[in-house]
Structure 1
Amino acid sequence: MTREIRLVALGGLGEIGKNLMLLESGPDIIAIDCGLAFPKDEMLGVDFVIPDISYLVERKDRVRGIFLTHGHEDHVGALPFVLKEVNVPVYGTKLTLGLARRKMDENFEGPFDFRVVAPRDVVEVGSLQVEFVRMTHSVSDSAGLIIHTPCGTVVFTGDFKLDQTPVDGEVPDYHRLAEVGERGLLALLSDSTHADRPGYTPSERVVGENLSRVFYRARGRIIVTTFASNVPRIQQVIDAAYKYGRKVCVIGRSMENVVDVAIDMGFLRVPLGTLIDVRDIRNYPQSKIVILSTGSQGEPLSALSRMSVGEHRHIKIVEGDLVVMAASPVPGNETTVSRVVDNLFRQGAEVIYTPESGVHVSGHASQEELKIMLNLTRPKFFIPVHGEYRHLVIHAQLAMATGVPPSNVLVGENGTVFRLTPDHAEITGTIHTRDIFVDGYGVGDIGHPILRERQSLGEAGAVFLSCVLSKDTGEFITPPEVKSAGLTGTKHQEAVASEVINVTRAYLSTLSREELQDKEYVEDELAAVIRRLFRNELGRKPLVMCNLTLI
């Protein structure tokens, strides 16, 4: 039996999201998590981004299973796309697979094999034994993985914080983690999201206390938005509503789905008669209503965004409404969230959104909790995961501060290949990885060149030119046609078209009949001539597309 393992990062290192790590031991490969990332501002038209699984597909006969740590989209959202290529058993806790199943229903046709496990259950796959261990995070039923290999034991924390008073009462399994550390841990791979935050992350229960105070003071309707998957937060909203005699209406497809799954599986406790349908809101006074809505990240099509501009078909913001933003903006979403908050104020609502309000706490461990995890498990080797590069570096420094030798700490990025033996760890190289863009029904069929075209369209508009010429004489058979979009106002379009036609005639008149036959070359050169025209005359750089037809 081999005495080395390889860890291959296909996503989640040097970025937030798209988490997918492979562990290879001899002939056996397992995948840990299978997530997506949401598009950056410059990824125009992209719905989301998934990992490049080419490396995995090439070795699919060796893949024994996919192990999920929790139900957030950055850990399960790519599952339908991966299983289309590598259909293997998927292991996870009850709620994790319940949330993942909703993603499968949306994007997958055909059979799939979900296998529910409980904390401390051990799954044997090939030469590996994978044990699930209870962790706390901002979604219930989260777990870490203790992976027993012929080379030694590896702990993968998943996303976590060390919450001493979680809403569901399920604290992290300190005893099992300490036991693994006592017996000797080969490597720890630990969540780095908040490695740059000193101290401890507050307990989720603190949010419940602050929500209760907010609800007590409110006189009108209350609208609360949070991450749809944050079941503990949803539970505390329901608890506060019930305490003050309010009904709860859930709005937004993703929120409705999570609430349905969590209730069905027993992770959300709702007093009888507390939930009402949106059509029944009119039957109650405003002071007796709580709306639980999607849109905490300012998503343009979310329920809260539509409310903020008066476009939601059921809910209109009125004077006296109190909106509680019970989530902090994910990096990159600050502008869209601020826009929604501004619009809510314009509609007459009061909005609670600042960090000082205490209506949101993170689900990720801060520095002191990360040190506790390191000291509990006492790993020989340490690899920080799940974070942007600065988070990984700072987490590496924390590990060294707790006594892990610098030579035993490895920091990588997507594509990095780590090799571990009982006595040595090293980075042996990288594999090629890239972002795979999902755009509507298309998966991976657009890349950065198309995104650059879309950006150019958005920034400077476009010009479309069509010319029909005689193949024999080079004369125009019909006048050139010019269309522009996003470039000038209507009253200037004729003048723009005239200028384009003039430079087109002038350029084509310089070409010999032989040169005209190279259609692609002529189209490219003509587009360059027209771009220069607009750069010189208007200081703009539109996208120019030319179509030359020779008859």
Structure 2
Amino acid sequence: MMPNVSELPAPPVLSADTLRVTPLGGLGDIGRNMTVFEVNGQLLIVDCGVLFPQEKHPGVDLILPDFTVIEDRLDDVVALILTHGHEDHIGGVPYLLKLRNDIPIYSCELTIAFLEPKLDEHRIENTNLNVVAEGDRIKLGNFDCEFVSVTHSIPDAMAVFIRTAAGNALITGDFKMDQLPLDGRLTDLRSFARFGEEGVDLFLVDSTNAEVPGFVTAEREIGPVLDSVFQQAKGQIVVASFASHVHRVQQVFDAALLTGRKVALIGRSMERNMRIAHDLGYLDIPEDVIVSSKEIMNLPAEQRVFMATGSQGEPMAALGRIAAGEHRFVTIDENDTVIFASSLIPGNEHSVYRVINGLTALGAKVVHQANAKVHVSGHASAGELIYCYNILQPANVIPIHGEVRHLVANGKLAELTGVPARNVILALDGVSVDLYDGEATIVGANPCDYIYVDGKSVGDLSEDELASRRVLASEGFINLYAVVDFENRQIVSGPTIKATGMAEDDTVFADVYPAVEKALQESLTVEHPNEYRSQQAMRRAIGNWVARKLRRRPMIVPLVVASTDV
């Protein structure tokens, strides 16, 4: 059963030789992954990602972990470890480094390479970037960290085995157990078995696919499907994927080479990441297959492939603009094919299907995970998780990286393999879990709000202000204006009513004008009339009428001005 975070006390002072684990993101959402480990006065952070906004977050650019719990203890941070290069694990790093820019960062070669341009964009100089590889074992303050290869949908992903005075913890990051990975880099089950022999006191494990039975399909099975789709396509092809999915981009290049097509990368992040991956040897670009966006437009449609961002329905990404007919050079015709070569992140369903519908309306054939095997997940399914539990035989388990249903399903898998129910810790962001003498226990909770990035503003947008945006977007806006002579208790001008963002025009308010005027006049009969009382009187009058007659709850902003101020 999930703890009620609001009812938990603040965590107590941490005892000596006790390991405290506090997730600041990733538990309850797919995104903004960040976990803080603490022992004997020192902190180790694993991952610092972002959550991408949904339709309920109008105007928001990114959502960050809440750094409040560590903000006053940044000098105690011995290192930040990044398990892999996806945005939900590294996107928040620049914002953390704005609080302390010299935090030592450890990760694999590709992840560090993806991180560096992000730091440049934010004008952050961190010369303490350290490349590690699987098999490396490094002492970081009170934490003895060993890096282990795992298979994921991006090269160079790693799990981390953390040895401390309080016991050993293994955090997987994102992983699966593809037995035939495209790059030959397996999840290192031999090391997992070795850790199991040594003793895994706390296992923090990816939960995203815990509800999915069996094993994830091998990545290499996607290649023949893409080849077939390319061979059948009559016009141009647009493939949408994550800008960091190197393996999928490689398969697109291979399919293009097979069918005599050229590929143009669309989107700044796609171009940048694939250039980095190629320079480091993670991406093999067949000769003369990749061309510029200008060159590809000189080719006939049946020779074009656009590799684009926007697979999650983001309106400003390349595919979203293509679907809306707003892209600067890519347009969709009746013979074109669009391939969604990525999984659907929970919460993005409406946005993705809106884009699919838009593309279909333009005449495109849209191929996606629901109608063709053009993508496989990068996360372990139930069979793989059970396999890991049996190898590791952990004493305690904290399911991570998932919505509540994923965490609960993962916890049940742990119990099936023999982990006692009391040792399966179902927690949410902000909850602190202490490991002492082999027992993991929830000890309290910390503030852990969504931190919104809105343009240049970070953390200034409140939930109330966001709620106001949602009202404006869904219900509209009504402005009332009047000029009043408070000394003589008379209405000088108005009231006038103006609606914005509502289907009805302003003539619909003819019936309510008398009620608003009456309420305004009555507000002038009290002992000390003032602008605030008059404004509230008008608000109540029109608010009740709109709710009753129009079945709406718009934002209502009344303004009463004293005649002496006019």
Fold similarity call, TM over 0.5: yes
The C-alpha deviation readout for 1:13-33, integer Å capped at 9, x for no partner, is 122111111100011101111
Instruction: State how far apart, in whole Å, the 1-side matches of 2:508 and 2:369 are.
Output: 51
Q: Does 1:461 align with 2:473?
A: no
The alpha-carbon deviation at position 342 of structure 1 amounts to: 2.4
Q: Does 1:545 align with 2:560?
A: no
Instruction: State how far apart, in whole Å, the 2-side matches of 1:287 and 1:539 are.
Output: 52
The C-alpha deviation readout for 1:287-318, integer Å capped at 9, x for no partner, is 22221111211221222222223322211212
Instruction: State how far apart, in whole Å, the 2-side matches of 1:315 and 1:187 are.
Output: 50
The alpha-carbon deviation at position 279 of structure 1 amounts to: 0.8
Instruction: State how far apart, in whole Å, the 1-side matches of 2:527 and 2:498 are.
Output: 26
Q: Does 1:435 align with 2:445?
A: no
Q: Does 1:69 align with 2:83?
A: yes
SS at match of 1:208: helix
1:25 to 32, 39, 43: 39
Q: Does 1:10 align with 2:24?
A: yes
Change (3 A) 1:59 1:525: farther
Instruction: State how far apart, in whole Å, the 2-side matches of 1:52 and 1:249 are.
Output: 38
Give identity over the alignment, percent: 38
1:341 to 343, 346, 356: 356
Does the 8 A contact of 1:3 with 1:422 survive in 2? Answer: no
The alpha-carbon deviation at position 478 of structure 1 amounts to: 4.2
2:145 to 125, 130, 133: 130
Matching residue of 2:437: 422
The alpha-carbon deviation at position 222 of structure 1 amounts to: 2.1
1:221 to 225, 230, 236: 236
Matching residue of 2:262: 247
Instruction: State how far apart, in whole Å, the 2-side matches of 1:471 and 1:6 are.
Output: 62
Matching residue of 2:247: 232
Instruction: State how far apart, in whole Å, the 2-side matches of 1:139 and 1:244 are.
Output: 25
Matching residue of 2:71: 57
SS at match of 2:249: helix
The C-alpha deviation readout for 1:27-78, integer Å capped at 9, x for no partner, is 1101111111122322222222111111010222211121111111111111
Instruction: State how far apart, in whole Å, the 1-side matches of 2:309 and 2:169 are.
Output: 37
The alpha-carbon deviation at position 514 of structure 1 amounts to: 6.6
Matching residue of 1:506: 518
Instruction: State how far apart, in whole Å, the 2-side matches of 1:3 and 1:126 are.
Output: 14
Matching residue of 2:285: 270
Instruction: State how far apart, in whole Å, the 1-side matches of 2:497 and 2:78 are.
Output: 58
Change (3 A) 1:260 1:517: farther
Matching residue of 1:167: 182
Q: Does 1:536 align with 2:548?
A: yes
Residues 292-303 of structure 1: pairs in structure 2 closer than 5 A = 292-303=307-318
Does the 8 A contact of 1:31 with 1:65 survive in 2? Answer: yes
SS at match of 2:23: strand
Does the 8 A contact of 1:473 with 1:513 survive in 2? Answer: no
> 1:21 corresponds to which letter in structure 2?
T
Residues 276-425 of structure 1: pairs in structure 2 closer than 5 A = 276-425=291-440
Instruction: State how far apart, in whole Å, the 1-side matches of 2:508 and 2:239 are.
Output: 53
Instruction: State how far apart, in whole Å, the 2-side matches of 1:285 and 1:178 are.
Output: 54
Change (3 A) 1:508 1:188: same
Does the 8 A contact of 2:216 with 2:377 survive in 1? Answer: yes
SS at match of 2:429: coil
> 2:400 corresponds to which letter in structure 1?
V
The alpha-carbon deviation at position 235 of structure 1 amounts to: 0.8
Change (3 A) 1:109 1:177: same
Name stretches of at least 5 consecutive residues in structure 2 with no aligned partner.
1-14
SS at match of 1:202: coil
Does the 8 A contact of 2:342 with 2:369 survive in 1? Answer: no
The alpha-carbon deviation at position 528 of structure 1 amounts to: 1.8
Change (3 A) 1:118 1:354: closer
Q: Does 1:39 align with 2:53?
A: yes
Range with greater deviation from structure 2 (272-281 or 469-478):
469-478
Residues 174-193 of structure 1: pairs in structure 2 closer than 5 A = 174-193=189-208
Change (3 A) 1:150 1:217: same
Does the 8 A contact of 1:152 with 1:186 survive in 2? Answer: yes
The alpha-carbon deviation at position 197 of structure 1 amounts to: 0.6
SS at match of 2:297: helix
Q: Does 1:202 align with 2:217?
A: yes
Matching residue of 2:7: none
Instruction: State how far apart, in whole Å, the 1-side matches of 2:139 and 2:276 are.
Output: 28
Does the 8 A contact of 2:30 with 2:345 survive in 1? Answer: no
Instruction: State how far apart, in whole Å, the 1-side matches of 2:530 and 2:45 are.
Output: 50
Does the 8 A contact of 1:2 with 1:25 survive in 2? Answer: yes
> 1:243 corresponds to which letter in structure 2?
L
Instruction: State how far apart, in whole Å, the 2-side matches of 1:27 and 1:336 are.
Output: 44
> 2:396 corresponds to which letter in structure 1?
F
Range with greater deviation from structure 2 (75-84 or 320-329):
320-329
Does the 8 A contact of 1:251 with 1:291 survive in 2? Answer: yes
Matching residue of 1:451: 466
**TM-score w.r.t. length of structure 2:** 0.92
Q: Does 1:120 align with 2:132?
A: no
Change (3 A) 1:114 1:500: farther
Range with greater deviation from structure 2 (187-196 or 43-52):
43-52
> 2:144 corresponds to which letter in structure 1?
Q
Does the 8 A contact of 1:80 with 1:108 survive in 2? Answer: no
Matching residue of 2:99: 85
Range with greater deviation from structure 2 (325-334 or 513-522):
513-522
SS at match of 2:540: helix
Range with greater deviation from structure 2 (521-530 or 425-434):
521-530
The alpha-carbon deviation at position 531 of structure 1 amounts to: 0.6
SS at match of 1:374: helix
The alpha-carbon deviation at position 245 of structure 1 amounts to: 2.5
SS at match of 2:201: strand
The alpha-carbon deviation at position 247 of structure 1 amounts to: 1.2
SS at match of 1:65: strand
SS at match of 2:315: coil
1:523 to 518, 535, 556: 535
SS at match of 1:307: helix
CA RMSD in angstroms, aligned pairs only? 2.1
The alpha-carbon deviation at position 523 of structure 1 amounts to: 2.5
Range with greater deviation from structure 2 (297-306 or 54-63):
297-306
Instruction: State how far apart, in whole Å, the 1-side matches of 2:373 and 2:465 are.
Output: 42
The alpha-carbon deviation at position 512 of structure 1 amounts to: 4.7
Does the 8 A contact of 1:193 with 1:391 survive in 2? Answer: yes
Change (3 A) 1:525 1:356: same
The alpha-carbon deviation at position 155 of structure 1 amounts to: 0.5
The C-alpha deviation readout for 1:188-210, integer Å capped at 9, x for no partner, is 11001000110000111111122
